[in-house]
Amino acid sequence: MHGVQPAATVAGPEEAGAACAIRLSGLRKTYGDVVALERLDLEVREGEFFTLLGPSGSGKTTTLRLIAGFERPDAGTVELEGTDVTRRPPYDRGVNTVFQDYALFPHMDVAQNVGYGLRVTGVERRERARRVAEALEMVRLPDVGARRPVQLSGGQRQRVALARALVNRPRALLLDEPLGALDLKLRQEMQLELKRLQGDLGITFVYVTHDQDEALGMSDRIGVFADGRLEQVGTPGEVYEQPVNAFVAGFVGTSNVLERGDERFTVRPEKIRMLDEGEPAPDGWLTEPGRVREVVYLGAVTRYIVDLDAGGALTVVGQNLDTSAEEAAARQGHAVRLAWRAQSVAPIESQRSDKEDS
């Protein structure tokens, strides 16, 4: 047998000793004949960085819009800190939203953009100026208040959008793919900034993305969506190491799903050691023989796809500590043995059907 371990359970807010900031109960949302969200139950803990992760059309942005109040559910409730806000308008919920396109007013300078919400709610000028300066300092842009948005870089505009969302001191900050328009290097820098900012402020962040690396690197917990349903909730380690089904295994990382007998399981590419034919495996490791079908050299690592003699294929990732591109390429077509620890295996179920229980 393959030593399949039982999947981890995920503690709810009360179980973990943390207060519940956002509770979604039985949420359903349709657009005509399209079911965007089906019977969603979700709790977000106070002060945590919670990410809604999934492909386009999976329901994550719809969920965010229901929390924000931009949409109303066909069924179910939205609670913020124990208060039912399902029918309240966005301005009466105590949450703010940051969008991918920044949504800054081009005719206003940065300070006016950041202070706009304060002015609308009647905060007097001196207090408004103080809080705007505080917010810009918070996002490390203390000296740009007099500039117009067009004079700023994409990363700076995103920081201004953050300052504007934070200046009202919301109970929760909702972020809808806020880094999607940035280039890779800037996006990675902003990921660190957002995580730092959330940690410093202690505000609940609900973050929408389709980028698995972003979700794994920034989140306290992740909710993985597919086809309007929540497939799994857990810490980055739980979601990555112990996916509950084939969809989560494939979307959060590389899908390595095998069936042997009555067992269906996944093992991550970096957990597999590729041995030469006849090379002994470490004691207690599980092994399968196969042949290298494809080699992809990626600089720091090489990705190998191995067809197994018993059926199926596994992707293996190996660090290029002492391996050149030529040496990696030379392994194509070679017979090998794959080996992994029993504890590296996670059991998975079939992906939940949209049609079940309907």
User: pLDDT at position 89, please?
Assistant: 95
Evaluate if residue 11 carries a pLDDT over 50. no
Task: Give the chain's mean pLDDT.
Answer: 90
- Phi, psi dihedrals of residue 296, rounded to the nearest 5°: -125, 110
Are residues 123 and 239 located together in one domain of the fold?
A: yes
User: pLDDT at position 17, please?
Assistant: 59
Give the mean pLDDT of 33-54: 96
Evaluate whether residue 114 is within a structural domain: yes
Domain ends where: 246, 275, 309? 246
User: In which band, very low, low, confident or very high, does the pLDDT at 261 lie, cut at 50, 70 and 90?
Assistant: confident
CATH number at residue 330: 2.40.50.100
User: pLDDT at position 102, please?
Assistant: 79
Cβ pair 138, 197 in contact under 8 A: yes
Evaluate whether residue 142 is within a structural domain: yes
Percentage of the chain lying above the pLDDT 70 cut = 93
Which candidate, 1, 11, 66, 5, places its Cα nearest to that of 233? 11
Evaluate if residue 113 carries a pLDDT over 70. yes
User: In which band, very low, low, confident or very high, does the pLDDT at 351 lie, cut at 50, 70 and 90?
Assistant: low
Evaluate whether residue 1 is within a structural domain: no
User: pLDDT at position 41, please?
Assistant: 97
pLDDT tens-digit series, residues 17-27: 579 999 999 99
Which candidate, 35, 2, 90, places its Cα nearest to that of 286? 2
Evaluate if residue 207 carries a pLDDT over 80. yes
Are residues 181 and 305 located together in one domain of the fold?
A: no
- Phi, psi dihedrals of residue 205, rounded to the nearest 5°: -110, 130
User: In which band, very low, low, confident or very high, does the pLDDT at 100 lie, cut at 50, 70 and 90?
Assistant: confident
Q: Is the dihedral of CA 234, 237, 240, 242 positive or negative?
A: negative
Give the mean pLDDT of 77-105: 92
Give the mean pLDDT of 329-350: 92
Please tell me the least confidently modeled range out of 111-115, 146-150, 255-259: 255-259
- Phi, psi dihedrals of residue 157, rounded to the nearest 5°: -65, -40
Evaluate if residue 4 carries a pLDDT over 50. no
What's the rounded Cα separation, in Å, for the pair 149 and 139?
Answer: 15
DSSP notation for 255-295: --EEEETTEEEEE-GGGPEEEETTPPPPTT-EEEEEEEEEE
Cβ pair 351, 246 in contact under 8 A: yes
pLDDT tens-digit series, residues 146-191: 999 999 988 899 889 999 999 988 999 999 998 887 888 888 888 9
Count of domains in the chain? 2
Are residues 291 and 177 located together in one domain of the fold?
A: no
Evaluate whether residue 271 is within a structural domain: yes
pLDDT tens-digit series, residues 296-336: 999 999 999 999 999 999 999 999 998 899 999 999 999 99
Cβ pair 236, 219 in contact under 8 A: yes
The domain of 297 spans 254-347
Instruction: Please provide the distance, in angstroms rounded to a whole number, between the alpha carbons at the two ends of the chain.
Output: 36
Tell me which long-range contacts 329-335 makes (C-beta under 8 A, separation of at least 24): 329/295, 329/297, 331/274, 331/292, 331/295, 331/304, 332/292, 332/293, 332/294, 332/295, 333/291, 333/292, 334/276, 334/277, 334/291, 334/292, 335/277, 335/289, 335/290, 335/291
What's the rounded Cα separation, in Å, for the pair 315 and 318?
Answer: 10
Evaluate if residue 13 carries a pLDDT over 80. no
pTM of the model: 0.86
Domain ends where: 193, 217, 246? 246
How many other C-beta atoms lie within 10 A of the C-beta of residue 139?
21
DSSP notation for 70-96: SS--SEEEEEETTEE-TTS-GGGSSEE
Domain ends where: 228, 246, 264? 246
Are residues 197 and 333 located together in one domain of the fold?
A: no
Placement of tokens 């931009």 in the chain: 70
Are residues 142 and 71 located together in one domain of the fold?
A: yes
User: pLDDT at position 299, please?
Assistant: 93
Evaluate whether residue 49 is within a structural domain: yes
User: pLDDT at position 189, please?
Assistant: 87
Are residues 240 and 258 located together in one domain of the fold?
A: no
pLDDT tens-digit series, residues 219-237: 999 999 999 999 999 999 9
Measured CA angle at 122 (ends 117, 127), to 5 deg: 85
Evaluate whether residue 135 is within a structural domain: yes
What's the rounded Cα separation, in Å, for the pair 167 and 183?
Answer: 26
Percentage of the chain lying above the pLDDT 90 cut = 75
Side-chain half-sphere exposure of 40, counting CA atoms within 13 A: 38
Evaluate whether residue 4 is within a structural domain: no
User: In which band, very low, low, confident or very high, does the pLDDT at 15 lie, cut at 50, 70 and 90?
Assistant: very low
What's the rounded Cα separation, in Å, for the pair 24 and 37?
Answer: 12
Are residues 100 and 123 located together in one domain of the fold?
A: yes
Are residues 241 and 265 located together in one domain of the fold?
A: no
CATH number at residue 58: 3.40.50.300
Are residues 154 and 133 located together in one domain of the fold?
A: yes
What's the rounded Cα separation, in Å, for the pair 132 and 109?
Answer: 12
Are residues 125 and 274 located together in one domain of the fold?
A: no
Evaluate whether residue 356 is within a structural domain: no
Are residues 295 and 338 located together in one domain of the fold?
A: yes
User: pLDDT at position 211, please?
Assistant: 93
User: pLDDT at position 2, please?
Assistant: 45
Cβ pair 20, 13 in contact under 8 A: yes
Are residues 229 and 304 located together in one domain of the fold?
A: no
